[in-house]
Structure 1
């Protein structure tokens, strides 16, 4: 199987981390971009080296999926470590194992400490739970790869407790832009659902309370779905089996063809098959289909299980992001959940660089109810609003920075000039990122024109250097050019090309460095592209 360019890059990055002695690394790929294919190719590489590999997961569907994909990609067969099935008598080099089985002391002690050379953790956002850590710490000398869909900053920081690095990350916007995933549209429904009395447990809303809170609104939600989902293949996520079953009946009463599946459904396989064959156009479930199930034809997702956990929300939406012939976009219905906190995950959080931009996007969407809004276009608008607000708040500080008589540019000024939200909102996650910048990093930053004293951790220094390198390759203005031209009141020089900046500096020099060239208003000037 020929890998896509980003999949090749992901595989190479993981192997490089291990070669460099970083044993515990992460791979972040959005749902639908082939994470199982990537780790299958990595497994194939390691088996060719004579290594033993364990694929660790918490659900049967994930184990079966990994085993099937590995065989299709590489021809490698697996043995199973789950319940009564044991891999100890098998000569297969790859084991797919249930964490619930392997975490048991009696089961673990049947293995030598060095039995596995490599461990792949599927859905790695679960990896810092006690059950996973019991297994991972037992095989402490193994090389570990955690694979997950895009986590939020909180998840990443938590994962940094165990994992040492992020080997490779491919973003949802990148995947959409490069044509590997379906464009996403968000539709805000002006129906206010009150969550103020919903309790919380383990960092999220209590599902029991959610079911009670949703109940009064089910008929109104169904009416909205009649308007927007009649001609779409839709998956609805609900908090409780009873709520899911009740809502399915209501949808059928309204004229939609709906079915319901849950963990107790004896006819689950038949219902899923019937959904695939278009006997139903709406499939309701109480969080059963978040992992290990795919139906590429799905083009509408309705999340009626509000959450504060971005990884969970991403899993739900990921059921509809895959490409399918004739599928133009994925529609997300977003309701006006009324809660006292601003911690609720919305469609904007799928692609926003930070919470500030996500909140700006959500506000725009809520101000335009019943209007389908492309998430990428919404993100651009939201980011512009945030930058404008930030610049207003930081106006005096930036003005002072630009007027300072020094040759180096403050990192904040550089970040604002190039509109790098990911840099200005960066928070270190892994151990090495939290440490101070190295002497090599500090010297490189100073050489490139960045004031090193204002960079307080190695992670930020690494990101800045990487961004400077990429800007050089793209032919964009350097930090030194930005520093000099913004002292003369030119705006957003970070968006200029190197040649445009160089040309303007030459014109200023020709006039004796007395100010902007004659006839040029620096605050309004934009170079020709």
Structure 2
């Protein structure tokens, strides 16, 4: 079907008959911001931008945050030589002078200012090789309009000769030709006359302040009320006490107001005396001020225990752990001196100083507060608090609740020298070379910051790098200082104050500001080092997440070199702890997990470096799995079940069984248990783990669940249960399920691995476990519990798949999966050389980017021409007269279902993305010649496969881009 016919079909569906069958690619769409499905106007805008050959924007209003959502994509287009034009205005004085300065930085975009009275258009036109796309409606180029507000926009696709698109283009050109070119002189003149509109946002509240008070709260504590998060947290902390517990742990993201929350709880508890413990002296004064605002009372009730201060008899004592933990201090304090004790940053409580203090005191209630309870020092914070997690709110939830400052994260390309890209082994001279300084300055200027005055933190990899770069930046006109672990506390505080007062542009540091420092006005965080851990990454990102009236968002600029730990970046941003490479790739392809106006963006080269790091990573090393296992065990207080891992967003159990065959074997490897059952039971668990746990077909799970519960079931009962759950059923599927459980489906090595004998036997109309399994289930509770745990986990996995169909679009499958799910009698994966026609089906497997080692006779030129068409080659030495080719060409007449499966490259292992059903375009079929390994000409047939469904945009780009 040519472009004109596809467009005609899409209009038929969009405007005449919604049941008309056509692809999704060109159909008219209503674009709205839907947080429930994570679909935003911004998604479509970026998809079109990434594919276009040029673009036109006509938007009345532009904000810094709105422009930030596009910056990395515009940088990628600039590298490809693609340009665009933006037409905007000064209507209502909405556009701040700074946004025009930001627009001027984007060298591949020309900007003009319309003088039309009441200019209020909101339209986006994208030119592609074969068509043009128009998005028009209510969304200006603001982050709120593109991601949050309730907006209506229509997306239409047109042939370049279409009348409607012609009118839009013509009107754009008319206004463009009358408009004024954006220049520095124009901006200078606009600044002089600019007066902000009356309804511009008032000063924003700092996150610690409850919603009801302002940055300058009244002194009367009676009127101060907790915000939404704090109300929920206070209720849960009280519930912990009502249950008779004397300890509670609060896990709350940096910047969400833990200090105020604790003060509200102290006010509710009304202790006779309270002790607040911190690890740094500079935190004390602010903590005391915050408590006085909430609790009221007189100054004399609030005292310090730090340095030379010894206010031991104050009602509310604020102490540093260094002073408090001294033996002479503790001797002066009765163990029951305080009935309420709080420990800030309690993840440090594994230190001996904290242990001495905790062992000494006997409070009625102990509250711990931290943003990062998962530690790498083996200390179990959860155990310290008797596993009573009173309240937990992580980064994603805090952003959803608008408790933190929004952020725009940019994964940018690190400098590349002739010798290669900067990595862990790069020489110091390269880290501070003039070329790298220029590169850093170019990137931080391009991506910018919110607000008038830059206040930045820059994290370096080593001390000498921080000092040398600071000197180089100062020589270029910036005002910076380097602070390291060698810098005194007094000097650190002095420089932080200078940064806050606008006397510094940047503080360059090496890890000392990961936590325990509060600079709410920071509006840019720059990462010039590899990501060593997800915890440190989030701590450093969090330095800019406190709200402040001088900024609307914080810019995070992460320089991504060839670091082996690059894969930790998408893991940290998405809070994915599954250790599943496919999940991590997905969070790199699709960043819609970030809610609100915040965005995650990667320049294309930087993104490809992370993809490579994911492929090269050893996520299943025993060390990595053991750490994740211990973290979960610490949290819940017992050996986790497989289902615990899914419930607590931890390791994907599939990762464990793919390496160790069963969870039982993993526990044995960790020496967590002695053998719980015999060799045959282990073979049964291996079969269930490797074949059923993935949840790709729920039918086996349902049958195994019924047998576990009842012992045996009739075929009718089984069918009724499937019907009751709305699961599709037919005789072929039942036959396939039974061949899996009888092991007839598997090859000889599979049968041997799984114990040779059928797991489920059929006697007439009755199905049941074989006698040995029945005895084990009856006599060995550990085995029975393990089977139940596995099936519960498989159920959880099954929700990822559409159980009304054999295969779910865009999910991943192995060749063996496909044989099973298409109801083939046997696993023929070892003999599917690219494709095979059997049982009325023909799965086709394509490795998109072939290895250079692949022989020329199998290095076919398969490629996606667009999101609905794959140009595909048969095996070599095949002609139009070959039977297997005829079966494919006559698939429609013969009722054969062709299924297309694609993987990006061999680094992805044996799993392929399912792109759906397809049929050959008979007009495209041709026989041609290719070279074999001896450079002789051999025949091959090539054709266009028309996909029934469009490949989703992010997956399409991932597959086609090298």
TM range (shorter): 0.5 to 0.7
Aligned partner of 1:22 among 234, 240, 245: 245
Check whether the contact 1:190–1:369 (CA below 8 A) recurs between aligned residues: no
* Range with bigger deviation, 97-106 or 349-358: 349-358
2:442 aligned residue: 227
1:285 aligned residue: 509
* Range with bigger deviation, 33-42 or 111-120: 111-120
Aligned partner of 2:691 among 396, 410, 413: 396
By how many angstroms is 1:249 displaced? 0.8
2:524 aligned residue: 300
In 2, Cα distance between equivalents of 1:254 and 1:483: 53
Correspondence 1:110-259 to 2 at 5 A: 110-152=332-374, 158-165=380-387, 166-181=389-404, 182-191=406-415, 192-195=421-424, 214=428, 216-219=430-433, 220-230=435-445, 231-232=448-449, 233=454, 234-238=456-460, 242-259=464-481
In 1, Cα distance between equivalents of 2:328 and 2:498: 42
Match status 1:272 vs 2:496: yes
2:563 aligned residue: 338
- 344 and 409 in structure 1: CA distance in 2 versus 1, 3 angstrom threshold: farther
In 2, Cα distance between equivalents of 1:280 and 1:29: 30
In 2, Cα distance between equivalents of 1:80 and 1:371: 49
In 2, Cα distance between equivalents of 1:269 and 1:141: 33
1:75 aligned residue: 296
By how many angstroms is 1:489 displaced? 4.9
* Range with bigger deviation, 1-10 or 320-329: 320-329
Question: Matched residue of 1:160: which SS?
Answer: helix
Question: Matched residue of 1:167: which SS?
Answer: strand
Check whether the contact 1:152–1:310 (CA below 8 A) recurs between aligned residues: no
Check whether the contact 1:151–1:311 (CA below 8 A) recurs between aligned residues: no
In 1, Cα distance between equivalents of 2:799 and 2:302: 56
By how many angstroms is 1:217 displaced? 0.7
Aligned partner of 2:604 among 368, 379, 395: 368
In 1, Cα distance between equivalents of 2:527 and 2:603: 20
In 1, Cα distance between equivalents of 2:246 and 2:430: 51
Match status 1:4 vs 2:227: yes
By how many angstroms is 1:221 displaced? 4.3
Question: Matched residue of 1:403: which SS?
Answer: helix
In 2, Cα distance between equivalents of 1:253 and 1:368: 31
Aligned partner of 2:274 among 37, 53, 56: 53
Q: Which runs of 4+ in 1 moved over 6 A?
A: 392-395, 481-485
In 1, Cα distance between equivalents of 2:412 and 2:788: 40
- 55 and 12 in structure 1: CA distance in 2 versus 1, 3 angstrom threshold: same
In 1, Cα distance between equivalents of 2:340 and 2:540: 29
In 1, Cα distance between equivalents of 2:567 and 2:802: 42
Check whether the contact 2:522–2:544 (CA below 8 A) recurs between aligned residues: yes
Question: Matched residue of 1:137: which SS?
Answer: helix
Check whether the contact 1:103–1:134 (CA below 8 A) recurs between aligned residues: yes
Question: Matched residue of 2:253: which SS?
Answer: coil
RCO higher in structure (CA 8 A, sep ≥6): 1
In 1, Cα distance between equivalents of 2:510 and 2:802: 57
Question: Matched residue of 1:131: which SS?
Answer: helix
By how many angstroms is 1:280 displaced? 3.0
- 305 and 40 in structure 1: CA distance in 2 versus 1, 3 angstrom threshold: farther
Check whether the contact 2:576–2:584 (CA below 8 A) recurs between aligned residues: no
By how many angstroms is 1:409 displaced? 11
Check whether the contact 1:194–1:338 (CA below 8 A) recurs between aligned residues: yes
Check whether the contact 1:402–1:487 (CA below 8 A) recurs between aligned residues: no
Check whether the contact 2:278–2:320 (CA below 8 A) recurs between aligned residues: yes
In 1, Cα distance between equivalents of 2:410 and 2:571: 8
In 1, Cα distance between equivalents of 2:429 and 2:296: 49
By how many angstroms is 1:152 displaced? 4.0
By how many angstroms is 1:245 displaced? 2.5
By how many angstroms is 1:22 displaced? 2.6
By how many angstroms is 1:193 displaced? 3.5
Check whether the contact 1:117–1:142 (CA below 8 A) recurs between aligned residues: yes
- 66 and 225 in structure 1: CA distance in 2 versus 1, 3 angstrom threshold: same
By how many angstroms is 1:30 displaced? 0.9
In 2, Cα distance between equivalents of 1:248 and 1:370: 25
Check whether the contact 2:305–2:320 (CA below 8 A) recurs between aligned residues: yes
By how many angstroms is 1:331 displaced? 1.8
- 485 and 134 in structure 1: CA distance in 2 versus 1, 3 angstrom threshold: same
Which one has the bigger strand percentage? 2
- 396 and 406 in structure 1: CA distance in 2 versus 1, 3 angstrom threshold: closer
In 2, Cα distance between equivalents of 1:100 and 1:138: 15
Check whether the contact 1:102–1:108 (CA below 8 A) recurs between aligned residues: yes
By how many angstroms is 1:112 displaced? 1.3
In 1, Cα distance between equivalents of 2:585 and 2:489: 41
1:349 aligned residue: 572
- 268 and 142 in structure 1: CA distance in 2 versus 1, 3 angstrom threshold: same
> How large is the RMSD of aligned CA atoms in angstroms?
4.6
Check whether the contact 2:567–2:584 (CA below 8 A) recurs between aligned residues: no
Question: Matched residue of 2:520: which SS?
Answer: coil
In 1, Cα distance between equivalents of 2:296 and 2:336: 25
By how many angstroms is 1:322 displaced? 2.3
1:500 aligned residue: none
Match status 1:95 vs 2:317: yes
2:28 aligned residue: none
By how many angstroms is 1:115 displaced? 1.4
- 228 and 105 in structure 1: CA distance in 2 versus 1, 3 angstrom threshold: same
Q: Structure 1 length as normaliser, TM-score?
A: 0.64
In 1, Cα distance between equivalents of 2:265 and 2:563: 45
In 2, Cα distance between equivalents of 1:456 and 1:118: 41
- 265 and 328 in structure 1: CA distance in 2 versus 1, 3 angstrom threshold: closer
In 2, Cα distance between equivalents of 1:222 and 1:484: 49
In 2, Cα distance between equivalents of 1:238 and 1:313: 13
Q: Structure 2 length as normaliser, TM-score?
A: 0.37
Count of paired positions: 410
- 306 and 68 in structure 1: CA distance in 2 versus 1, 3 angstrom threshold: farther
- 217 and 74 in structure 1: CA distance in 2 versus 1, 3 angstrom threshold: same
- 310 and 107 in structure 1: CA distance in 2 versus 1, 3 angstrom threshold: farther
Gap runs ≥5 in structure 1? 198-212, 373-385, 411-416, 418-450, 465-477, 493-520
1:64 aligned residue: 285
Aligned partner of 1:109 among 331, 338, 345: 331
Question: Matched residue of 1:168: which SS?
Answer: strand
Match status 1:44 vs 2:341: no
- 66 and 317 in structure 1: CA distance in 2 versus 1, 3 angstrom threshold: same
By how many angstroms is 1:79 displaced? 1.3
